[in-house]
Structure 1
Amino acid sequence: MGMPTFGNILTIGHVQAENELYKHYHYPEMLIRYDSNFIAFKRMPSIHEFKETEEFLKAFHLVHNQSHLKFEFPDNEKPDEGLCQYFKDSGYDVGWLELYFIRPHDFLGSGKHAAITVSEVTERNLNDFIDLQYETDKQNGETFAEGKVDLNRQQFEDEKFIKVLAYYGGAPAGTMNVIVSDKFVEIDDLAVQEVFRRKGIGSQLQQFVMDRFPDHTVILVADGEDTPKEMYQRQRYKCAGFKYEVQRID
């Protein structure tokens, strides 16, 4: 089985336009979801090319009442000093993502815990899942959280998505989205309520995937500057690459 790339990570959004330089993703169903409304460069742009693309996206988003600009760059390439200086001068936040993968038999979990139960979401507990994710998503604003409710209900009806819910002592404590393809299983939106953290819930959510899909490669994306990636490294995930991105809210 080949090494995963960021191309194996699901992008929620429609390809609005594509040329030799970039793909433009647009998602009118949730305009506030920045990860669904952006431009992904297929090769590293020059400063001139970036500025032209920036003006295009700015005008497009203005028509759709969107206040953000987001750009992703090719896998495993860092923008040069000239671009980085332009990002700084123009008020962009610069960050990078890291792609991790693991074979389920290599996963180093924290062991079973009697107080933790993890199961696939059904009609019976769908509202528990949605309510818990709503609380997590509120940190990005009420509008974003409400949009995620609709997205979660839509995905629940799609067979390539599995919603997973963890309980601690009978109380809803953690959620996770799983996206299934032929060779890979992607873990996304893994979140544990703050009051239940450091109890092994995140590990048990991942263990659910390892047990359910022993013959797949499990993949996920972590923020390059956040501490969760250190947990993945301890659990024996391997890094398959990185991707730079910039974002600005006007």
Structure 2
Amino acid sequence: MEELSFEHIAIMGNLFYEDSNKKIYLTPEEPHTYHSNQWIYKQLPNIEEWRRDVQRQQQFHQAHQCTHLAFTFPANHHLDNDWKQILNKEGYQLGVLELYVIESAELARWQTKSDVQIQIVDKDNLEDYLTIYNHFALPFGHRFADESVKRTRIHIQQQYDNVVRLLAYYQNQPAGILDMIVSDEIVEIDGFGVLENYQHQGIGSTLQAYVGQYADTRPVILVADGEDTARDMYLNQGYIYKGFCYQVVKENIK
């Protein structure tokens, strides 16, 4: 398996600036989408450098109606207690993202359920997909959910991106969704969720088996919340842990 890293994870946003230390994503048409408006560090800054970057990012974001600050730190670099105390004191939410990889052939062998039907999303099943999508977006706020649903609708209708969106029906009822971000080298799983009432019915495993078949010989990657119980599920299912990174967000900046 090719050595994969966070560098292979797709960022859905406009790359505004890049140098040897960082990438700056700024997407004015989606001001409430954190990952589309963030700074991703290649090298770990010291605290004073980061404070200067905070001031610059705040100026950029306020000029484009973004009401948050967001930074992703380099992969596999731990933040010490000084960092964590400062981030907590200044009102940042600290999260850990973890990268997982699995061979497509292994996914393709997973057992599927005959009463789960997988469809690629198009104009005919678009509304069923967006209803579930909105359900999973709402916990991040109504402004984000509305913005994200609007963007996704346009992307599907205009076939704008390299995302193949899947919709799972369980006994003819829409029950789960999964996005495949497709490139020549890999397939990334994103936007994966099964409605609570339909969990433990084999829907998630059937969706992932479809991904394995679609990916053919390409490896499959995904990013999971390091504090989520899903990480244990992925390890138990045969995914290989490949690393972590810290991500911080501050909401409702003035």
Q: TM-score, normalised by structure 1?
A: 0.94
Q: CA RMSD in A?
A: 1.7
Could you say which residue in structure 2 is the equivalent of 1:172?
174
1:186 aligns with 2:188: yes
Aligned sequence identity (%):
34
Which secondary structure state, in structure 1, belongs to the residue aligned with residue 138 of structure 2?
helix
Distance (Å, rounded) in 1 between the aligned partners of 2:193 and 2:43: 33
Could you say which residue in structure 2 is the equivalent of 1:200?
202
Matching residue's letter, 1:143 = R
Post-superposition shift, 1:159? Answer: 5.7
Matching residue's letter, 2:152 = N
- State whether residues 110 and 209 of structure 2, in contact with CA within 8 Å, keep that contact through their aligned partners in structure 1: no
Which secondary structure state, in structure 2, belongs to the residue aligned with residue 113 of structure 1?
coil
- Match runs of 1:230-241 below 5 Å: 230-241=232-243
- State whether residues 24 and 39 of structure 2, in contact with CA within 8 Å, keep that contact through their aligned partners in structure 1: yes
Return closer, same or farther for 1:109/1:151 CA change in 2, 3 Å cut-off: farther
Matching residue's letter, 1:106 = E
Distance (Å, rounded) in 2 between the aligned partners of 1:17 and 1:183: 25
Query: How many residues are paired up?
Result: 250
Distance (Å, rounded) in 1 between the aligned partners of 2:206 and 2:65: 41
- State whether residues 98 and 243 of structure 2, in contact with CA within 8 Å, keep that contact through their aligned partners in structure 1: yes
Could you say which residue in structure 2 is the equivalent of 1:54?
54
- Match runs of 1:129-168 below 5 Å: 129-156=129-156, 157-158=159-160, 160-168=162-170
Post-superposition shift, 1:206? Answer: 0.7
In structure 2, runs of 5+ residues without a counterpart are none
Which digits, 9 at most, give the CA deviation of each residue in 1:33-92, with x for residues without a partner? 011111111100011101000111112222222221111011111123332221122121
In structure 1, runs of 5+ residues without a counterpart are none
Which digits, 9 at most, give the CA deviation of each residue in 1:203-232, with x for residues without a partner? 111111011122110000000000111111
Distance (Å, rounded) in 2 between the aligned partners of 1:23 and 1:130: 30
Post-superposition shift, 1:108? Answer: 8.4
Which secondary structure state, in structure 1, belongs to the residue aligned with residue 101 of structure 2?
strand
Which digits, 9 at most, give the CA deviation of each residue in 1:139-195, with x for residues without a partner? 222222221222223332036210100001100000111111111000000011111
Once structures 1 and 2 are overlaid, which stretch shifts more, 156-165 or 207-216?
156-165
Which secondary structure state, in structure 2, belongs to the residue aligned with residue 173 of structure 1?
strand
Matching residue's letter, 1:54 = V
Q: TM-score, normalised by structure 2?
A: 0.92
- State whether residues 108 and 235 of structure 1, in contact with CA within 8 Å, keep that contact through their aligned partners in structure 2: no
Could you say which residue in structure 1 is the equivalent of 2:125?
125
Matching residue's letter, 1:38 = Q
Matching residue's letter, 2:195 = Q
- Match runs of 1:13-32 below 5 Å: 13-32=13-32
Which secondary structure state, in structure 2, belongs to the residue aligned with residue 166 of structure 1?
strand
Distance (Å, rounded) in 2 between the aligned partners of 1:117 and 1:101: 25
Could you say which residue in structure 1 is the equivalent of 2:2?
2
Return closer, same or farther for 1:106/1:112 CA change in 2, 3 Å cut-off: closer
- State whether residues 28 and 65 of structure 2, in contact with CA within 8 Å, keep that contact through their aligned partners in structure 1: no
Distance (Å, rounded) in 2 between the aligned partners of 1:159 and 1:51: 35
Could you say which residue in structure 1 is the equivalent of 2:226?
224
Once structures 1 and 2 are overlaid, which stretch shifts more, 47-56 or 157-166?
157-166
Distance (Å, rounded) in 1 between the aligned partners of 2:20 and 2:216: 38
